[in-house]
Amino acid sequence: RGLLPDSQSGFRERFRLQTRLLLFLEDIYSLMSNSAPVCTIFVDFRAAFDQLWFLGCIGKLRNLGIPSSFLNWIELWFNNRRCFIEINASKSRWFSIEKGGPQESVLTPTLFITYNCDIGSSLSSCISHFFADDLSGIMAGQLGINYSSQCLDLEKRVKVFLDQLEYYSCLTDQPINFNKTEAMFTAPAIVHPNFVIHFCHGTKEIIKWVPEYKYLGYLISSKLGWDIWLFFSISS
């Protein structure tokens, strides 16, 4: 209690998905009301719960001040975990693992969000929202300058955000799925972003701009209207 930030709504009592969605939209509307272009990056962590690093998690929990009695119990829960791979009814031999919690356990998501409780402070260049392993980072161009300069400033902020995200990903051994990480550009006028987002230094990985994104089960468009969501709701 008190360890998790308010920006994390997943697997927590009295934290609703719809509230997270409304807070997310409110932040974008607030930034746009100042006539600033906004970039939202939706980050997809690769097989998030399966990448939970045992030693890193225990070390993080110890630094957070978790009582030793709980810490010892969690460490025993992690120890001697094994798995096998099954393809077309053929099973591999059992082998030991050092990452990943069982999907059916309620403890796995709890440990995951606790392990990543400091990610918001590590991504200080953006307004961050979390729902379990879903991360969205919101950035806006500087106020009080012309639109072209705002876009240049926004591009710099996006690069800082990605540098911070890359560092956190390496530090926590939590890989990011480049193919499913996407960006959405929102501005008072209907325009398109004029810069390319490269994910990591020295790579050709590019984050794709999308006109709409399904966030927490709801379709969000760059126009921030509800027409797409209403259309699909009525159609289904």
Question: At 103, is the pLDDT very low, low, confident or very high (cuts 50, 70, 90)?
Answer: confident
Instruction: With respect to residue 61, please indicate whether it lies within any of the assigned structural domains.
Output: no
**pLDDT on residue 226:** 60
CA dihedral 15, 18, 21, 26 (to 10 degrees): -90
pLDDT of the residue at 171: 93
pTM for this one?
0.85
Q: Is residue 39 part of a domain?
A: yes
Residue 179, domain member (yes or no): yes
SS3 label, residue 136: strand
Q: Can you tell me the distance from the alpha carbon of 217 to that of 229, in angstroms, rounded to the nearest whole number?
A: 10
58 lies in some domain? no
Domain region containing 133: 17-48+118-235
CB 102 within 8 A of CB 108: yes
- The rounded distance, in Å, linking the Cα atoms of 182 and 180 is 6
Number of domains in the chain: 1
Residues 232, 20: Cα–Cα separation, whole Å? 21
Predicted confidence band of residue 1 (pLDDT cuts 50, 70, 90): low
